[in-house]
Amino acid sequence: MMIRFGTSGWRGVMGEDFTFHNVRVVIQAAANYLRTKYGDQPIAVAVGYDTRFLSDRYALEAAKLLARNGIQVFLADRDAPSQALACQIIKRKCQGGINFTASFNPARYNGLKFNSATGAPALPDVTDAIEEEVRRLMPGFSSLTTHLLDESVTRIDLQGDYLAYLQGKIDFEAMRRAHLKVAADPLYGTSREYLDEILEENGVEVEGLHGYVDPYFGGVSPSCTEENLAELKAHVVKTGCHLGLATDADGDRFGIIDETGGFVHPNIILALLLDYLVRVKGWRGGVARSVTTTHLLDRISRKYGLPLTTTKVGFKYMAELYLKGQIMFGGEESACIAVKDHLPEKDGIFAGLLVAEMIAVTGRSLGSLRQDLFKAYGTMTSGQRTLPLTPERAKKLKALILEPPAKLGRRKVVASETLDGLKLDFEEDRWVVLRQSGTEPLIRCYAEAESAEEVEAILKKGLEAVR
């Protein structure tokens, strides 16, 4: 069996490929990689986990095995958001971080993310080296471990440091003055007692949902999709909240509900936040977006003369630009943001708080802010569809990437891009992307146009090309 790190770590179905044996192989491979990289220097690794079934056990096994390799381990004392772990990697000057989470994947999945010493998700050169070590170790690897926790494993609290870190980065005073009322839904994940607590501590009225552990995530995937946020939408309307904030299982992605109970697509949130930071707060600097993210960011960047960079899908590529100081804002349509002077890791809690700040500071509802955005930059609508990945479909997609078509249906292709899958640009900022998912056996199709009907038409033609 091949263990591969995709867009955001290694993920697999528990009991099939994500097993204790395979986890131990990957942890040993990571330990060997760190020993090769740092030699005889002291090595420390922070280990965290989410609320999934067995995540805490996987983390404990990882701590034991790392300790047996002479590595100092800082083990989370409870499930915690991915960005809180990144905060600890930086604070404690660790050489790496390991987090057991499958993020927004269904409950039957688990996963392992490896972060570098910067706190950012590891780039492919690192994960490729770990994969190679896994392949070397796998034959004949003994997975038995009875090693007990010792003084080289320290249990740590992640919550206090992370919330203190956030405190000075958000204008909570503006929220208090605006008498903001927020509904918070962690989707049974790690953001409970993080998102709700920091709002409550700062005098913001909070309505909480699903603030307890359920490894089955209420029977749905812990993803901030419109369908999965139905209860939050209803709760916002019922309780008269100004907005609803949701996060996925490991707290690094966001979902936003407006004052009418309407779901606001992450692309629109990214555009609103960039416009707010530039127009209201006066920020200037580089902007980045992935190939599948809205061109509204391009239009805002053009208006203010901000250099724009396109990246592959995967926050690690955005984090690389952030660490080099090349961007002050970056976004992915999968509800991820990078913001200057923050952490080099996805942060759904921070994103939600920034949306709440934007509403409070501007004194406008999310709905009216969206209307203003469209008046200033034009209306854009996004959509996504998926197909199960088969060998035949993978072959068709590869052929399209090698020889991009001049037309898709009746639409003329004005430019094509093969940075990550295939992107076809049409006139007036309309586009479609076809790519293999880095987290599931799927082909993903993304599109953007002025109307939902046109988006559906483009998506249909895109999927027909590989069906």
Q: What is the pLDDT of residues 187-201, one digit of tens each?
A: 999 999 999 999 999
In this predicted model, what pLDDT tens digit does every residue of 373-427 receive, in sequence order?
999 999 999 999 999 999 999 999 999 999 999 999 999 999 999 999 999 999 9
For residue 150, is pLDDT > 80? Answer: no
What is the Cα–Cα distance from 347 to 357, expressed in whole angstroms? 15
Contact in structure between 114 and 126 (CB atoms under 8 Å): yes
For residue 146, is pLDDT > 60? Answer: no
Element (H, E) at 83: helix 82-91
Give the mean pLDDT of 261-275.
Answer: 98
Give the mean pLDDT of 96-117.
Answer: 96
What is the Cα–Cα distance from 274 to 332, expressed in whole angstroms? 12
| Sheet containing strand 254-257, strands side by side | 205-208, 181-185, 243-247, 254-257, 263-264
What is the Cα–Cα distance from 190 to 213, expressed in whole angstroms? 8
What is residue 440's predicted lDDT score, i.e. its pLDDT? 80
C-alpha separations of 128 from 125, 332, 438 in Å: 5, 23, 14
**DSSP count for the chain of H helices, then E strands:** 15, 22
In 3D, which of 214, 199, 222 has the Cα closest to residue 352? Answer: 199
For residue 439, is pLDDT > 90? Answer: no
Long-range pairs for 39-45: beta carbons < 8 A, 24 or more residues apart: 42/72, 43/70, 43/71, 43/72, 43/95, 43/96, 44/71, 44/72, 44/73, 44/74, 44/92, 44/93, 44/94, 44/95, 45/71, 45/72, 45/73, 45/74, 45/94, 45/95, 45/96, 45/97, 45/98
Give the mean pLDDT of 216-226.
Answer: 95
Give the mean pLDDT of 241-261.
Answer: 98
CA 291 to chain centre: 15
What is residue 148's predicted lDDT score, i.e. its pLDDT? 66
Task: Return the CATH number of the domain spanning residue range 177-377.
Answer: 3.40.120.10
Give the mean pLDDT of 253-257.
Answer: 98
Cα four-point dihedral sign 50, 217, 209, 233: positive
CB atoms within 10 A of CB 399: 12
For residue 361, is pLDDT > 70? Answer: yes
Give the mean pLDDT of 49-56.
Answer: 98
For residues 440 and 129, which has the higher predicted lDDT (pLDDT)? 129
Domains 177-377 and 381-464 share a fold: no
What is residue 47's predicted lDDT score, i.e. its pLDDT? 98
pLDDT band at 108 (very low <50, low <70, confident <90, very high): very high
pLDDT band at 2 (very low <50, low <70, confident <90, very high): confident
Element (H, E) at 97: strand 96-100
Domain formed by 10-159, architecture: 3-Layer(aba) Sandwich (3.40)
Element (H, E) at 82: helix 82-91
Checking phi first, is residue 17 left (phi over 0); if not, alpha (psi -120 to 50) or beta? alpha
In this predicted model, what pLDDT tens digit does every residue of 166-175 receive, in sequence order?
999 999 999 9
For residue 227, is pLDDT > 80? Answer: yes
Question: Which DSSP string do the residues of 277-326 spell out, in sequence order?
Answer: IIIIS---S-EEEETTS-THHHHHHHHHT--EEEE-SSHHHHHHHHHTT-
Give the mean pLDDT of 293-315.
Answer: 97
What is the Cα–Cα distance from 210 to 190, expressed in whole angstroms? 11
Chain mean pLDDT for the chain = 96
Question: Which DSSP string do the residues of 124-178 spell out, in sequence order?
Answer: HHHHHHHHHHHHHHSTT------PPP-TTEEEE--HHHHHHHHHTTS-HHHHHHT
In 3D, which of 346, 188, 322, 181 has the Cα closest to residue 254? Answer: 346
For residues 147 and 14, which has the higher predicted lDDT (pLDDT)? 14
What is residue 1's predicted lDDT score, i.e. its pLDDT? 64
pTM: 0.95
N residues, the chain: 467
In percent, how much of the chain has pLDDT > 70? Answer: 98
CB atoms within 10 A of CB 302: 12
Domain spans of the chain, in order of start = 10-159, 177-377, 381-464
Residue with tokens 């942890």: 27
pLDDT band at 147 (very low <50, low <70, confident <90, very high): low
Task: Return the CATH number of the domain spanning residue range 381-464.
Answer: 3.30.310.50
Can you read off the two tokens belonging to residue 274? 């960039």
